[in-house]
Structure formats: structure tokens, C-alpha cells
Amino acid sequence: MSEKVLMKGNEAIAEAAIRSGCKLFFGYPITPQTEVSAYMSKRMPQVDGLYLQAESEVAAINMVYGAAAAGARVMTSSSSPGISLKQEGLSYIAGADLPCVIINIVRGGPGLGGIQPAQSDYFQATKGGGHGDYNLVVLAPSTIQECVDLTYKAFDIADHYRVPVMIMGDGMLGQMMEPVSFPEHDDSVSFDKSWACDTTGMKRKKNIVNSLYINPDELETLVWERQKRYDLITENETRAESFFCDDADIVLVAYGTIARVAMNAVKKARAMGIKAGLIRPITLWPFPEQEIADIAKTAKSFLSVEMSTGQMVYDVKLAVNGKCPVEFYGRTGGVVPVPQEILDKIVEISKKL
Amino acid sequence: MKRITIFAGHYGSGKTTAAVAYAKKLREQHEKVMIVDIDLINPYYRTKDAQDELDALGISVISPTYANTNIETPSIPAGVMAAFSQKDTYVVFDAAGDDDGAVVLSRYFMEFSQEEYDFFLVINSKRPLTKDKESIIMYKEDIERASRLRFTAVVNATNISYETTLSDIMEGEEITETVSKESGIPNRYTFVWDELYDSLPRELKEKAITVQLFHKKPWEL
């Protein structure tokens, strides 16, 4: 474990990527994630890596496609409008079974929206913003330390399953500073990259990376094979954290920084004698359905708290599966809720129980 | 304390927190104090976050029109010129980080040249890109080139947010001292979280200015 330093979320993600062996970064600046690029531009030359500011987000994601096809650990970063531009490239990367990491530091939308924090890209990230039968693994850190830990994890998941992995935080997580340390990166695990289009060395047949299949049967077979890998990811990589859920009547579900605001509200509710609890999904896809379903056996009500008009709440409803009511509280447009307003909602629900 | 004081340094070093604390200290001695936010880079965590407190103290705040809103316009407010024309006012300039942020200072090169000023390099050795003498001096030179101004002193603002301990501050003080010696400019102040002030050794207390954390996170409310 290294000595603690003070870093912004954006910087911590960039440093963690470098320590994960990412030597190639292609990006295009956009608030509130520009420090990822700025940090990469300073650090990459020091580690014999490459930082390249592409001419657009579309170009950057296609550079990622190329580098991933060559077998490199590669990353790009953007914020909401820029991630929209990357969707075509993401679909191609998923269709070509390539590993890469995409950072999305979400701001208010739709359109240009604003530069303040939001979680309104949940649907886009977890339900496939691009076309085709594919999934992005979506990781949602809530602290700067977790930004580091999940960035390490993201590259390993990407390489192990040959899938694109997104780290999704809100603008606040990107901009705020917290003490952070960088655990020794475990470089001992190696990943099979015999599929990569690096060089044949005149010793083997050439590899082809492609997402076009002429014959429908062939495409169908490949899509189902990929689906089996998604099932494996769901089985092995689903993560959530729960607090005070064992005896909870009202269970809040919140991710990212908002989980910290919700946690504060839960503690205040407990102090008032209301049995509140919190589930914090760490993977948004795969969604921690089972964890929620288990708690739904004893809970009396769920409350999804989001910086959106209500997106994750649909996944919560599917997981709860009608066992009890699922309520929603949200702020959007760049407005961050404070604990008191969430507490007010908990109190309102408790009166209905 | 000069009429004009400029804070610059690596981004995230604690410039805004230090500049606000310095303006408050100036206000204890002077009737008219102004803080000028010329940060055209940082979207969040700005001088404007302390606006209510500064208003209450009678410290005027000049900041970009759209600070803390949903848009960014990299434009400097016209009101900045008041800093140079109102000679009875003590002014603290809070620049954005790095050489990119210091470019804005060079816009006022002619105005700054009209009188003596203090130009402080804010040092936080807990920031990974400014953790030693060599990297700090690199930032110092980059900022001087971009701003066309020469630093008149270094100040120690070493902190690791709410986990800051006395030993962090002392380590930062040692590095600040070596930068001071190497570059031949004085080590003027130590900005320290008010909760840690009492634990400082006597010689540091004399140069210490206490700061309060005003950028509250929503879960701390």
C-alpha cells in the first residue's frame, strides 16, 4: 500500500489506469472529466505511454477500437454528451469482442444540459446506448479510493471476458478531492491475447478482428456465445454493499456519491427510530438483483434515490418483483440532493407503513 | 501585507482556501478588502462557495458571471479592473491552477507592474505531482512563464483534506523550505486547518494563517 496523497477523482482514475498497465489513452476534453486527460498528458510521457487528444470523441473511441484490437490495455474518457458520440464505436467494440475501459463522468442532460453532476445516463450505460445485443459492464464508485480500486478491477474484467467496461461516476466524484492510496497492482495475472492483431511473425495465420458476419446463422451463434459470457459476468462479478438491511423496513437503493448522501439520511432516520437501510449497487450492470430480492423478503418498502427523474428505479422494481412498494426520490439537472430532503421522504414513507 | 496579493500554484493545492483565509486576515486590519476569482478552468469548488461568509464579513467578491452555474464561459469579469483603480482596497487574486490558469494573470501584466505586489506560490506536497522540490520548481517556472510575473514568496498549504496531521504539515514545511532556499524567495506563510493550529510548534505558529474548510460535500450537510 502506497503512502496517501490528495487527489481528484479524475486524477485518481487516470493514475490507477496507468498502474493497471494502460499505456494508451485517447480522449477529447469535456467538463467535468477534463482532468483525466490533463493528468494523462503529463503522466503518460513519464511511463513511455501515449496520450493523444483526438479530433473528436468519435475519433477517440475508434482509436481505442484499433489499439484494443492490437491487444493493448487502452482507455478513453468523456462525459455525457461525449459518451453519446462514442456509442457507435462502443457497439463495434462489443461486437468485435474487444476489451477496453471507458470513463463516463456524468453531467446533466439531455443535449448539452449542463456541467454539474448527474446520474441521468443510467439507461444509456446499462441498457446499451449503442445498437445490438450487447452489454457494458458498468462500475459505480462512490469514493476516490473506490475510483482507484474499481479502475484496477475494470481492466481485469475487460481482459478476462473480452468486453468493454465502463466506470460511471458523476461530476462531483470527478471533481472532488479525497485522501487516496494506490495498492500494489497485481501484475501476476496474465490474460490470453492470442486473438490480437499484433504481428504474425510469419509464424501463424493472421488474426481478424471484425463485427461483420455475412451469414445470419454465424452471427446468431456468436451473439449467443457472447450472451453466455454475459451470464458468467453476472454470476461472478455482481457487486453491492448493504448497510442496516437485516431488520430494515425501508430500504434505500442508491449508487455513487448519492449513496453517501443516502447513508447520512439512513443514519438520521435510525436515530429517529425509523428502521431504514441502504443497498449500494457497485456494479450497475450486472445489477445486484439477487441481493435486492433477498432483502425484499423482509423489507416493507424500497426507495430508489437518484440524480435523475427515475432510471435505476425500474431495475429495483424488477428485482423486488412486486413483493413490496418501490418509491422514488430524485433531483436532476445538476442538482445534488442533501440528506434532509431524503430523510423527509423516508419519514413520509414510514407514515404509510 | 501588500495592497495586491496573488495566489497561484498547482491545481488542487489549496489556493482558493488559502486566498479566502488571507482575505479574511486582511479584513481584520483593513476597511476595504476584495477577492478576485479569475479561475477560468475549474467548474466546481470555487471562491463563490464562500460568498455568503465573505459577504457577511464585508469582503467583496468578483467572480466570473457564470461561476457555479451550468455553463462555462472562459471570460474575465470587467469588474477585475476595480482591483487596480480602487487604490484604497486590498485585493487578493485567486488564479486557476498550473500554467494554464496563470495565463489570465499575464493579461494584467501592465497593471501589476504599476505597483509592488505579493505573488505567492502555494505548495501542497501531498499532491502527487508536486511532492518534491524538483516538481514544485518545474511548476513554479511554468507558472512564471505563463503569467509573466515572478513569485515573491512560497507558502505552505500542505494538506490531505480531513485526514491532515501535524506531520503532513511539517513534511510540507520542510519541502517548502528547500524550494524557498533553492529559488531565493522567502517562505512566508503556513496555511493550517484551524483544528490543528494549537498543535503547531511555536516558530510555525508565528507564520501560520488558519483556514476553515468551506467546500462542504452534500453528505456532510
pTM of the prediction? 0.95
Inform me whether the C-beta atom of residue B16 falls under 8 Å from chain A C-beta atoms: no
Please give the pLDDT value at position A1: 52
Whole-angstrom Cα distance, residue A260 to residue A7? 19
Residues of B in contact with A336 (CB under 8 A): 218
Please give the pLDDT value at position B64: 86
Cβ-based neighbours of A283, under 8 Å, separated by 6 or more: A137, A138, A139, A140, A237, A238, A239, A240
**Over the stretch B175-214, which tens digit does the pLDDT of each residue have?**
999 999 999 999 999 999 999 999 999 999 999 999 987 6
Q: Which neighbouring-strand residues pair with A326? A: A302
Inform me whether the C-beta atom of residue A264 falls under 8 Å from chain B C-beta atoms: yes
Whole-angstrom Cα distance, residue A194 to residue B53? 61
H helix count then E strand count, chain B:
8, 8
Task: Map residue B1 onto helix, strand or coil.
Answer: coil
Please give the pLDDT value at position B217: 85
Q: Which neighbouring-strand residues pair with B91? A: B4, B34
Residues of A in contact with B131 (CB under 8 A): 5
- Looking at this predicted complex, what is its ipTM? 0.92
Q: Which residue of B has its CA nearest to A261?
A: B219
pLDDT at B19 over 60: yes
Are the CB atoms for B210 and B198 separated by under 8 Å?
Answer: no
CATH superfamily assigned to domain A5-187+208-237: Thiamin diphosphate (ThDP)-binding fold, Pyr/PP domains (3.40.50.970)
Task: Map residue B11 onto helix, strand or coil.
Answer: coil
Across all residues in chain B, what is the average pLDDT?
Answer: 94
Cβ-based neighbours of A107, under 8 Å, separated by 6 or more: A31, A32, A79, A80, A81, A113, A114, A115, A116, A117, A118, A170, A171, A334
Task: Provide the domain count of chain B.
Answer: 1
Whole-angstrom Cα distance, residue A338 to residue A265? 9
Are the CB atoms for A148 and A236 separated by under 8 Å?
Answer: no
Whole-angstrom Cα distance, residue A51 to residue A103? 15
Q: Nearest by CB to B218, which of A31, A42, A336?
A: A336
Whole-angstrom Cα distance, residue A210 to residue A65? 10
Strands (E) in chain A, as ranges, are: 5-8, 24-27, 50-53, 74-78, 100-106, 137-139, 164-170, 177-180, 240-243, 250-253, 276-281, 283-285, 301-306, 326-330
Domain A241-352 carries which CATH code? Answer: 3.40.50.920
Alpha helix (H) residue ranges in chain B: 15-29, 51-56, 82-85, 98-106, 109-112, 133-147, 166-183, 202-207
Say whether B12 and A175 touch across the interface (CB within 8 A). no
Q: Which neighbouring-strand residues pair with A168? A: A104
Whole-angstrom Cα distance, residue B125 to residue B175? 7
User: How distant is the Cα of B44 from the closest Cα of chain A, in angstroms?
Assistant: 7
Say whether B126 and A108 touch across the interface (CB within 8 A). no
Confidence of residue B42 (pLDDT cuts 50, 70, 90): confident
pLDDT in tens, chain A (353 residues): 578 999 999 999 999 999 999 999 999 999 999 999 999 999 999 999 999 999 999 999 999 999 999 999 999 999 999 999 999 999 999 999 999 999 999 999 999 999 999 999 999 999 989 999 999 999 999 999 999 999 999 999 999 999 999 999 999 999 999 999 999 999 888 999 999 999 888 889 999 999 999 999 999 999 999 999 999 999 999 999 999 999 999 999 999 999 999 999 999 999 999 999 999 999 999 999 999 999 999 999 999 999 999 999 999 999 999 999 999 999 999 999 999 999 999 999 999 99
Residues of chain A with CATH 3.40.50.970: 5-187+208-237
What residues make up the domain containing B43? Answer: 4-220
Whole-angstrom Cα distance, residue A36 to residue A263? 28
Interface test with A, best of B125, B219, B220, B221 (most A CBs within 10 A): B219
**Over the stretch B107-123, which tens digit does the pLDDT of each residue have?**
999 999 999 999 999 99
Inform me whether the C-beta atom of residue A175 falls under 8 Å from chain B C-beta atoms: yes
User: How distant is the Cα of B11 from the closest Cα of chain A, in angstroms?
Assistant: 10
Q: Nearest by CB to B72, which of A31, A257, A339?
A: A31
Say whether B124 and A172 touch across the interface (CB within 8 A). no
Beta-carbon neighbour count of residue A253 at 10 Å?
30
Please give the pLDDT value at position A197: 95
Written as one letter, the residue type at B69 is: T
Buried b (16+ CB within 10 A) or exposed e, A181-197: ebeeeeeeeeeeeeeee
Spatial CA neighbour of B7 closest among B31, B37, B28: B37
Cα angle for residues A180, A186, A191 (degrees, 5° grid): 130
Residues of chain A with CATH 3.40.50.920: 241-352
Output the domain CATH number for residue B171: 3.40.50.300
Inform me whether the C-beta atom of residue B12 falls under 8 Å from chain A C-beta atoms: yes
